[in-house]
Amino acid sequence: MKTTTNYEKYNNQSFQLNPPEKEPRYYAKYGGVKDEMYGNSHLVSVKIYINETEYFTKTSIKLELKQKLNELHTFTLYCDPDEFGENKKTYLLQNTKEFLGKKITFEFRQYGKTASIFTGIITQISMPKKEGIRKLVFRGTSPAILMESGLQCRSFENQTLEEIIQEVIRPYPKNLMNFHINPNKKERLGYTVQYNSTDLEFIQQLSERYGEYFYYNGEQFCFSSWGGKIVELMEGEEIYDYELKLGIQPQNFKYTAYDAKQKTDHTLNSIHQNHSPSTNPFQQHALSYSKKLYNTVPQSHYDYSLLQNGAMEIEQSVETEKKKRQNLVYVEAVSNNPQLRVGDIAKIMVWIPEHEIFKDGRVPIESYKITEIIHTFADGEGYENTFIGIPKDMTVPPYYNGRTYSKASIQHATVTDNQDPLKMGRVRVQFSWQKESNSQTPWIQVIQPHSGAGKGTYMNPEIGETVLCAFHGGNAEAPVVLGTAYNVGEITAYYTQGNDIKVIQTRSGVKIVFNDAEGSILLEDPSGNKIFLDGKGNIKADAPETLFMNAKNVVVSASQNIQMTAGENISTTAGKDYTLAANNIFESVGQTRFSDAKNII
């Protein structure tokens, strides 16, 4: 199916249209005002306003306008430089350069009434000169170009799609950025990230990821599956050169994922998901044959989420993916009806004069939501559009892709909370790009050397510490803490040139120091208690206060000597017997020695 128009048909007559790259060498001026020529006739005309002022009332123009779901709409306008006094005596773009960045409105008219309107912004003005003849070309886009002002990083916690989009569009002018937001997905999203993308790219990403329609109908931005006017089209009157396409694709699949909060594996099969089938008979036929042809159920890993809502999240993804796969029917057609816009519903009837049911020959082939449309118009040549549509009851657009999330690479963050309500050792962190809005991540896992119920290591980072985070599947919404990292503000006191010292130290000062240069180990607490293994065969235990030893039996053995010294007193008490045996016993008493017993032998 061609994507640019070649003919305009009125009253069974065909007018050859020159494609934009072969525009006329000059544009003839009309002898009068165009309104007088078009009047209330069926012929389509286009009124053009730049900053609310009408132009081209007496000079000819050629226009191409492209509109497509979830994409930036564009237009190209070819016109006569004399409209703005741009002639051979003036400097290039002397009078028209001021229109750069200005609002432009195209009003498509038929039968003396407005059929549709498109308001955009002029983003480029050029004046090509060929064979000594100057021409003037305006190019531009929908007002969505304002949301292409630069890359942005931010996060949203526990907000709906509508709330997120309202926050994104808040800085933009309401007269140009009028939004209608009514998504199918109403639930609050636990954690949503815009990462190094423009605001337009982010909204397009949300549309693609959650299977929501997003488009600009010429006057309003729509983030919704609903809405759009119904336009009836009859073959031979408003429509010609049409093509109906049926396709097949696999319908069965299942997702599996690990849920850390529930410590379980979820597996959801699309076969068990039921929803209302399409009423389009062509769609029903294509779906039936797709199921017959593809009878296996392949399994894929749902690995791109923190699963904050558990199995419900996977269930919703399976349902949306299933609806998307049922986009099996497309219609492409060429029409002369200027009412059509992207997002509208085309109710199509074709001419089959001998149809057994529809005796008048006007046979309906169902209604289709327009996903893409290209309008072309030239004074003296006419108007037509080429459009693509899908069955109107397809609530999930064909571009849905659940894996369309913000991609992020490994980066540092600061711990903001470590009091995990589920006692799973998780933390919340704040990335540098979250500080301005004082936002943070949800609870995320910390990788430990070893973990498990009743076993493992438990060393969670402290609040304020710098950690290094990676992301499941590269998803900026699914971070995990790999470990901590020193920085210029947090320098270790144990650095040595030979990297001899390894340390475990808590925030209170409890530490274990391994010294490879000495082969020693030091255990120390903040009070001064120490146990030192010097690596030379000696162990030293120091206690500023009292050293307690408590056991059922205590055996002290030395191959050579045992020496006990006290600054004041030594007391030895035995509950029963006290045995002292030696080859020789020497006693030395400075003053008095007392011995007391019932019997002395």
Mean pLDDT to the nearest integer, 518-539: 94
The sign one gets for the Cα dihedral 333, 337, 343, 348 is negative
Residue 355: is its pLDDT beyond 50?
yes
Q: How confident is the model at residue 90 (pLDDT cuts 50, 70, 90)?
A: low
Q: How confident is the model at residue 33 (pLDDT cuts 50, 70, 90)?
A: low
- Give yes or no for a contact between 375 and 385, defined as CB atoms under 8 angstroms apart: yes
Count the residues in the chain: 601
The end-to-end CA distance of the chain, in Å, is 124
- 212 CB contacts (<8 Å, ≥6 apart)? 161, 183, 184, 185, 206, 223, 224, 225, 397
The sign one gets for the Cα dihedral 527, 529, 533, 537 is positive
What is the DSSP secondary-structure string of 394-433? Answer: --S-TT--TT---B---EEEEEEE---TT-SS-BEEEEGG
Mean pLDDT to the nearest integer, 336-340: 96
Q: Is 94 exposed, middle or buried (0-12, 13-18, 19+ CB in 10 A)?
A: middle
Helix axes 199-210, 161-169, angle to 10 degrees: 170
| 150-224, CATH topology level | Phage tail protein beta-alpha-beta fold (3.55.50)
pLDDT at 91: 67
Mean pLDDT to the nearest integer, 334-348: 95
Residue 535: is its pLDDT beyond 90?
yes
Average pLDDT, whole number, for the chain? Answer: 87
Residue 578: is its pLDDT beyond 70?
yes
Residue 339: is its pLDDT beyond 60?
yes
CATH class name, domain 411-484? mainly beta
Residue 356: is its pLDDT beyond 80?
no
Residue 429: is its pLDDT beyond 90?
yes
Distance between CA atoms of 362 and 346, rounded to whole angstroms? 15
Output the CA–CA distances (angstroms, integers) from residue 421 to 162, 186, 307, 326, 428, in the order listed: 29, 27, 17, 42, 11
Q: Where in the chain is the domain with CATH 3.55.50.10?
A: 150-224
Structure tokens at 556: 């002290």
Weakest-pLDDT range from 124-138, 205-219, 300-314: 300-314
* Share in percent of the chain as helix, strand, coil (round to 5): 15, 35, 50
pLDDT in tens, 226-283: 778 999 999 888 998 999 999 999 999 888 888 877 778 888 888 887 777 788 889 8
Residue that is written with structure tokens 């659940």 in the block: 402
Distance between CA atoms of 58 and 48, rounded to whole angstroms? 12
Q: Between residues 78 and 587, which one has the greater pLDDT?
A: 78
Weakest-pLDDT range from 58-67, 338-347, 588-597: 588-597
Structure tokens at 470: 């990676």
pLDDT at 224: 92
Residue 34: is its pLDDT beyond 80?
no
Residue 9: is its pLDDT beyond 70?
no
pLDDT at 255: 86
- Would you state the torsion angle of the CA atoms of residues 363, 367, 372, 374, taken in this order, to the nearest 10 degrees? 40
Query: Which value, in Å, is the radius of gyration of the alpha carbons in the chain?
Result: 40
pLDDT at 600: 67
DSSP bridge pairs for 372: 68, 388
- 117 CB contacts (<8 Å, ≥6 apart)? 105, 106, 107, 108, 218, 219
Instruction: Tell me the helices (H) and strands (E) count for the chain, helix number first.
Output: 5, 36
Mean pLDDT to the nearest integer, 496-505: 92
pLDDT in tens, 114-163: 999 999 999 999 888 777 777 889 999 999 999 999 999 999 999 999 99
Distance between CA atoms of 162 and 205, rounded to whole angstroms? 14
Distance between CA atoms of 463 and 417, rounded to whole angstroms? 6
- Give yes or no for a contact between 104 and 46, defined as CB atoms under 8 angstroms apart: no
- Give yes or no for a contact between 300 and 321, defined as CB atoms under 8 angstroms apart: no
Q: What is the pTM assigned to this prediction?
A: 0.84
pLDDT above 70: percentage of residues in the chain: 91
Structure tokens at 527: 């009070």
